[in-house]
Structure 1
Amino acid sequence: MLSQAAMRTLRASILFLFLFLFPALLYAKGIRGTITDEAGKPLAFASIFVKQSGTGTTANENGFYEVTLDSGRYEIIYQYLGYETQVRIIEVDNDFVQVNVTLKPQATVLPTVVVQDGNEDPAYTIMRKAIAKAKYHTQQLDSYTARVYIKGAGKLKDYPWLAKRALQKEGIEKNRVYISESVSEVKYTRPNKFEEKVISIRSDGKDNNTSPNQYIFGSFYEPEIQGTISPLAPKAFSYYKYEYLGTFQDRDYEVSKIKVTPRLKGDNVVEGVINIVEGWWSIHSLDIHTTKMGIQIYIKAIYAPIDDKAWMPVSHQFRVEGKAFGFEAEFKYLATVSDYKIKLNPKLYVDNDKMEVIDEKVQKEEAKKIAANKPAPAKKSKQPDNAKLLQERLESGKEITRKELNKMMKDYEKEERKQQKEPLVISDNTFKVDSGAYKKDSTYWATVRPVPLTQEEVKGYQKSDSMAVVSRRIEEGDTLKSSKHKGFQPWDLLIGDSYKVSKHSNFKIHFPMPNFNTVEGWNLVYKVSFGSILQDTNKTRLTITPAFRYAFSRKVASGNLKFALRNNKYRFEVEGGRYIKQYNADEPILPIVNSFTTLLLEKNLMKLYERRYIDLMYRRKLSQFVTVSGTLSWNKRHELLNTSNYKWVDRKKIEGYTENRPVNVELTNTAFPDHEALIGSVRVAARPWLKYQIRNGHKQEINNSSPTITLDYNKGIHDALGSDVDFDQIELGIKHEFNIGVRGHVDVALRAGAFTNSSNMYFMDYKHFLGNKTPFATTDPVGSFRLLDYYTYSTDDKYFAGNVHYHFRRFLVTSFPLARMAGVSENVFVNYLATPGSKNYTEVGYSIDGILRLFRLEAIASFQDGKYQDYGFRIGINTSFAINFSDN
């Protein structure tokens, strides 16, 4: 029997359900039903649009739909790609109206024009008009608001058996459905401001890396959407071929069906069908497929004429699937957009019936008449108002050539950019999550969910909800702890770990990686770090990092201590101690790579010296284009000699380890006595055409939007603090990546400099270059050499270094579509060095990128004064990853 307390709770629950839920059920009303084809097969995710309310939704996988509406008379539009649109007039009274709909296959009619030898496919005229009007569509609305519902369901279909135990600990099961839902209120303000507020969310967080939001909130009227070339881009004809498949009637609109085929299959292009509304030259719907790093993305979208003024997307379907390293996963997404409220741009809006775009390439006579009848512009002493001229031109007649429209839109956008407060901001996005977003219960979701869940999704939620409770308790500090959140353990001293000390502070023990070199023998570096945010307003962060190092062969302990203070405007660092350093301060050899070459190949390539030092560094942004930094370093430098001959493999052909003194053609003896050095440097870095995107009020630079131009000055300060050095060095550099059209893109890095004074220098003060004699390419692929010795051509004189990389979309291996679809790309590069002793050193190389999506294989040959010298092979990380790493 139930206790009295339990009975009271039960009675209270029943009363609550009666008082609050029963009235809602009593007064719930609208339309519901199923959508099928003529054979009775459900049309999964068919689109339903309510014209009077601007509300869109979709059916579920079983073709069932339900829309809650107030009493009234509604025009309901039912759509499904490949089927005729059906319009129903429905009267909603005090209950749900059952409306079952059967859609017929779309009747596509080919025109009388037949493509014959020498004639152009009609698709090209249609697409030229649509492309010409794409900019108009991006500027047509001053603003709009809407509500977006997104449902995602994903599952891990397969994984390697080695990962089974780790995945099970994380609660991830094969073929289990992980589901998430969210409802957001979105607002767009021209030209580039987008605000999203998530008002409710229900998610287990297993799909964060596959979310389609960037596509949903992007626009195919823009030249690119998430790096993918749009079929409506100005340069689209270089990337795509188009084929006219016919015209179908959708209510009062004629819609042309266009097949889109990439001229070169691979990443960042689409393939499929795009439907264009005749006269409006806007998107009616699309069914396309693209790839990203081997991940397959399938997209379906349906648009509707909001207030009969602008075609906007009302439903999206996404399927994301891919395989990598034995893992196979699939995610499905459904997004519906409803409650549209649009505000037109008064400077551009004209009745669409008044503006017909003329393709002067085909409609030559019409274009001549327009040119002959166009009034001459009035002579004015000041700059014309392009916005006014455009509006007058659009309202003056029914026809305009696409070239004229393109020019007017460009002039209009240029004039608008001048008036913007921040013209270099490409996008301004704000994303917020309502404080009560995670607190909505299943009753709430049952009322707002426009698409009923399937049985498989219901089961997925039941498991996800129980796991979410555990995760939330862990985050809130509950006594429940997972193996990853169990606090400090003794073995952490050996393997490292991170700990959250407080809300704004963390502590980390770095993994103590042992390494080997001939100077120290085996050595061990033990490092910890503490970080804390001092100010929330500008995210000022303090980091303290002490490091301890022990050299077993030298039997010497050393270490340093580093303080760093940084925010988005400046960075200040102080570091000091006793430590070893490579002669090249850019440290071209990784310790782990040097350990490999030394112990297994008997090549001790890393050359080291010891210094007692204090380093100061300050860097500050003077403006959004210019950054200035300065360093001041006091050093007491000491030469080191080899102390260990230990090796794992004794190669008889090699006489033994070389001494710890770099070999150089300009300085015959690189040995040096103990000395002191005070060195200062100043760097000015300018990116004059830099562009930004704003995310929640924080500016983020857009990579490669501007070349980086640097000017460096280094000074060896003589007789100050006992300093023995005296030199002056100046260097100018430029680095940039730019597209050269459909065939690929180019990376360029150029550096030129000279020592105007070299009165007293030691070898570590020379200008060194990023060479490489190991089998691995670990430095910046654009800006480094592959076969060059690390110190042979270091100089205290004039120098020039240049690196040019050409990335092909199609070359040799990538001539095969399967290779491109697997993410493989090819590069050809040239590296050049000019110093007094380098004899025009040149490297010519070829590389295959994206092997297993991660690796790069290079083949290189070197020349001096045009004469062949050497060849070699290198293994590295995929260039796209490596460049990103080097920029951080």
Structure 2
Amino acid sequence: MRKILSLLIFVLVASSLKGQIFSGRVTDKEGLAVPHASLFISEIKSGISADASGEFSLKIAPGTYSCEISSLGYKRGHISFRTDGENINRVIVLEEMSYELNPVHFSGRGEDRGSAIMRRAIAMAPRYRYQLASYEAENYLKGTMKITSLPVIFKLKSLKDRSKLLMNRLFLVESFSHISYKAPGKYTQTVRAYKSTIPDEISGGDIDLLFKSSIYDPEIMEMVSPLSASAMSYYRFVYQGVTNEAGRVINKILVVPRKGNAKLLAGHLYIADDTWNVTFAELATVQSGMRINIKINYNEVSENVFLPTTYNVGVNIDMMGIVGEGRYFSSVAYKSIKENSASRLPVTLSIPPADSKLTAKEAERISRETEKNLNPVPVQTSLELKKSEPGTTITVDSAAKSRDSLYWLEVRKVPLRGDEVKSYLGADSIKREFKKLEQADSAKAQNGGKGSKPLEQIVFGHKYKLANGLHFSFGGLSKVVGDFNFVDGYQLGQNFALEYSANKNMPLVLKPSVYYSTSRDKLLWDVSLTLRCSPLRNGIFSIQAGAGSKDISSNSSTSRFINSYASFFLGMNPVKFMSEEYVKLSGEIDIANGLRGRLILSAQRRSVLFNGGEKSLFGRAPSSNIPLNIYNPLFDNHGAYTAEASVQYTPRHYYRISEGKKHYVRSKYPTFSINYRGAFSGGDLQLASFSAVETGIRQSVRLNIYSTVNYAVSAGTFLSSQRLWIPDFRHFRASDMIFSEAGFEENFLLLDNYKYSTPGSWAQVMVNYDSEYILLKYLPFMNNPLIGESLHFKSLWLMDRGVHHTEIGYSVGVSGIVKAGVFAGFGGWKFNSAGFRISIPLVNELK
């Protein structure tokens, strides 16, 4: 009853204010609606947008006004009207527009002429970006969204109730804000009114992101702008005609991405001759099943100052079974404008006249020089990246969510449709239902989404709070079988953890685990105590002790997880095990900024292990547990007292301090490293005795928006090797398994794990070129922004044996989830192997 009463009040208020409403409909000559036409009233510097039916409505004070009406494909219309407390209702008819191919200034093909025009627009872009020192404006925004289809998974019982609340329901949001802008790029937004039917549990996203961007910025919504200094490298521009608007010559330019990429835009720009500013933008982008269409109308709000007055954004979603659509309107009314006098001053490198040639390189240089002159970047001497002031500061008026119908009638620039009024009437009940569902799901989040019921805790494990800062957890039944291999058989047991954290940046974690080997009839155990300390220096110290089966390689790329499944199903045992009893002390910390040191001390007793009587699920017997190696080393029971010290240094490594902890961010320099490893026997012939040193360099370099190259080069040698068993050889990350959860970047993929492990000298090079466009991405059905491609080159030299192994390859897939590749191997210059490989890094997240 209260909702019906509110609606009646709204209608009565609207009726009582009829004399102050400027409304009407925009049509073509046939009387058909011109949807989403833009209207600009110059006296109040305000733009409004018509709806899909061409209808518009605006509360306006008494006075005389001139209005400009525009829509793509139509000539701009102009009307004048006067309000004296009476309602003004107009039907505005727009004429269709045709563009002529005018040969003035530019000749040649359409693409040549389009590029010539855009080179001047690109050169001028920084001037328009910094044209204003400040402005004050009011912004009205309305957004709608409706989901029309959901994937089958939403029919599951746990999601069915939620899907019923989402399907075919119109969600609506409106806001009215005061915007204060101060160059460069600082917005202060005061939300004076806000109204939404979207439940609080659903994020509506930053719907103001586009409206705080400029077409003249290098990036728009994290996409390369067609007016950025480097735009000619990413876009083709095709001239499609010229028209005359109020004495200005307007060029229609087709914007075509050189590669169909989610980081680029496509559509049209309308560029004014001589001044080279944008008068209208119609752009679109496709990102992971979401198509976004953007229309921005620019009007002359002050002499030679063209600013966006209306935005019209359409969104269509068809992604992984989710189908929906949305639309956003924004209307801007400028209250005051202050120009930046510097943008009017001539720069050292001026733009040549239209009848002379301007190359793409010159346009880019002029753009960058103008940017530098108008917005000089201060020299940063400190490597600490201070928390910068946000580009937008948002405050919400205390009364924003309680504004009445009278207030909304004053500020609303796009009339409500019938289904939008209905959405508001049903908003409260929808929000209550969503809140109930959220409360029911909150308990599951406490246990990592695995459930909070007793049975779920037993199966998946659970983390219990014992006291403030003290937690206990265990793995549950899912962790009872720790591993399966042909040496231990099944490992049956459990793992636990006890964590104490008086300071969240300095937790102390005790992790014991106990498992029983069914084949060896032996208890396998491990306990570690780890302390993270000195958060501004990223300190980590730990002590670990235990007895169990360990990989003979200390640098294997085949995990026990992959080995376990390969053994159980296929009877393969790529990992070779030894028995090890150990005590280890380790610590690492930042010695200085970018300089990190690590020290590991250990005592180990190692024993040879042999396969037990286990077979695979299908009865296949495994190969020997003794690794194959070109040096044919002997392996018998022995001990080792080892020390390892390493230092790595990244020059001028920028960092940020967040919540009391230091986080490294970037450096344009490579990372250098040196590592020493040695074992000391004191003359005992059953103890290892050796020393080795290795140095390396690695770096990742971003080439452009599509491509990155990363490389790693290392070389080393054993300085002494009096008693050296295979566990202490220099091992290389290698695997000849088809499946792996390790990436392709730092692993040899056509080598046995142990074949080239060496007690001599070595050098290795790994280079990877990652790009969004190499080969298969040029196929339309593969052109998905989530998919990337890579080229790989890896080479290993063993100097003392004259071994030179090289691999080249190509891979494609979704980084961090799954990739597939083909690889070829060479011994020297001779081809010797090839293989197809699948990497599933996502497995690491599911363990």
TM-score scaled by length of structure 1: 0.78
Give runs of aligned pairs for residues 114-513 of structure 1, distance below 5 A: 121-144=112-135, 146-165=137-156, 166-171=158-163, 173-182=166-175, 188-191=181-184, 193=186, 200=194, 202=196, 203-204=198-199, 208=203, 213-226=208-221, 228-251=223-246, 253-339=248-334, 341-350=336-345, 357-358=351-352, 363=356, 405-406=366-367, 408-409=369-370, 411-412=372-373, 415-418=376-379, 429=390, 434=395, 440-441=401-402, 443=404, 446-447=408-409, 448-460=411-423, 465-469=428-432, 487=452, 489-496=454-461, 512-513=478-479
User: Could you tell me which of 804, 811, 818 is aligned with 1:840?
Assistant: 804
User: Could you tell me which of 591, 607, 613 is aligned with 2:583?
Assistant: 613
**Cα pair 1:728 1:756 within 8 Å, conserved:** yes
Q: Distance in 1 between matches of 2:495 and 2:668?
A: 37
Map of 1:598 onto structure 2? 567
Q: Distance in 2 between matches of 1:191 and 1:670?
A: 68
Map of 1:86 onto structure 2? 77
Map of 1:111 onto structure 2? 102
Give runs of aligned pairs for residues 546-565 of structure 1, distance below 5 A: 546-553=511-518, 554-565=521-532
User: Could you tell me which of 15, 23, 26 is aligned with 1:32?
Assistant: 23
Q: Distance in 2 between matches of 1:676 and 1:551?
A: 27
Letter in 2 for 1:573: I
Map of 1:656 onto structure 2? 622
Map of 2:823 onto structure 1? 860
Q: Distance in 2 between matches of 1:121 and 1:618?
A: 59
Once the two structures are superposed, residues 404-442 of structure 1 have per-residue CA deviations (whole angstroms, 9 ceiling, x without a partner) of 744642652685433898898998535666577797147
**Cα pair 1:600 1:647 within 8 Å, conserved:** no
Alignment partner of 1:521 is 2:484 = no
Deviation at 1:319, TM superposition (A): 3.3
Letter in 2 for 1:668: P
Given the superposition, is the C-alpha separation of residues 289 and 435 from structure 1 closer, same or farther in structure 2, using an over 3 Å criterion? closer
Letter in 1 for 2:587: M
**Cα pair 1:863 1:869 within 8 Å, conserved:** yes
Deviation at 1:604, TM superposition (A): 1.3
Alignment partner of 1:828 is 2:791 = yes
Letter in 2 for 1:357: I
Q: Distance in 1 between matches of 2:110 and 2:415?
A: 50
Given the superposition, is the C-alpha separation of residues 236 and 408 from structure 1 closer, same or farther in structure 2, using an over 3 Å criterion? closer
Given the superposition, is the C-alpha separation of residues 697 and 101 from structure 1 closer, same or farther in structure 2, using an over 3 Å criterion? farther
Q: Distance in 2 between matches of 1:591 and 1:416?
A: 51
Alignment partner of 1:712 is 2:674 = yes
| SS state at 1:134 partner | helix
Alignment size in residue pairs: 818
Letter in 1 for 2:623: Y
Map of 2:839 onto structure 1? 876
Q: Distance in 1 between matches of 2:113 and 2:829?
A: 53
**Cα pair 1:521 1:552 within 8 Å, conserved:** yes
**Cα pair 1:635 1:678 within 8 Å, conserved:** no
| SS state at 2:803 partner | coil
| SS state at 1:440 partner | helix
Q: Distance in 2 between matches of 1:696 and 1:29?
A: 53
Once the two structures are superposed, residues 74-102 of structure 1 have per-residue CA deviations (whole angstroms, 9 ceiling, x without a partner) of 44443322323334445455566445433
Structure 2 unaligned segments of length 5 or more: list them.
Answer: none
Higher mean Cα deviation, 758-767 or 863-872? 758-767
User: Could you tell me which of 783, 792, 797 is aligned with 2:746?
Assistant: 783
Q: Distance in 2 between matches of 1:341 and 1:307?
A: 10
Aligned sequence identity (%)? 22
Deviation at 1:344, TM superposition (A): 3.3
Give runs of aligned pairs for residues 535-684 of structure 1, distance below 5 A: 540=505, 542=507, 544=509, 546-553=511-518, 554-565=521-532, 569-575=536-542, 576-578=544-546, 581-585=550-554, 588-608=557-577, 610-620=580-590, 622-623=592-593, 626-639=594-607, 641-642=609-610, 644-650=612-618, 656-659=622-625, 661-666=626-631, 668-684=633-649
Given the superposition, is the C-alpha separation of residues 595 and 522 from structure 1 closer, same or farther in structure 2, using an over 3 Å criterion? same
Letter in 2 for 1:137: Y
**Cα pair 2:474 2:496 within 8 Å, conserved:** yes
Q: Distance in 1 between matches of 2:576 and 2:336?
A: 68
Once the two structures are superposed, residues 187-221 of structure 1 have per-residue CA deviations (whole angstroms, 9 ceiling, x without a partner) of 55544555666664633368748756544433432
Q: Distance in 1 between matches of 2:427 and 2:9?
A: 29
Structure 1 unaligned segments of length 5 or more: list them.
Answer: 1-5, 369-400
Given the superposition, is the C-alpha separation of residues 779 and 208 from structure 1 closer, same or farther in structure 2, using an over 3 Å criterion? farther
Higher mean Cα deviation, 549-558 or 412-421? 412-421
**Cα pair 1:431 1:696 within 8 Å, conserved:** no
Once the two structures are superposed, residues 756-792 of structure 1 have per-residue CA deviations (whole angstroms, 9 ceiling, x without a partner) of 5656665444433221222124223322222222232
Deviation at 1:874, TM superposition (A): 0.9
Letter in 2 for 1:733: I
Given the superposition, is the C-alpha separation of residues 402 and 439 from structure 1 closer, same or farther in structure 2, using an over 3 Å criterion? closer
Given the superposition, is the C-alpha separation of residues 796 and 316 from structure 1 closer, same or farther in structure 2, using an over 3 Å criterion? farther
TM-score scaled by length of structure 2: 0.81
Q: Distance in 2 between matches of 1:28 and 1:139?
A: 41
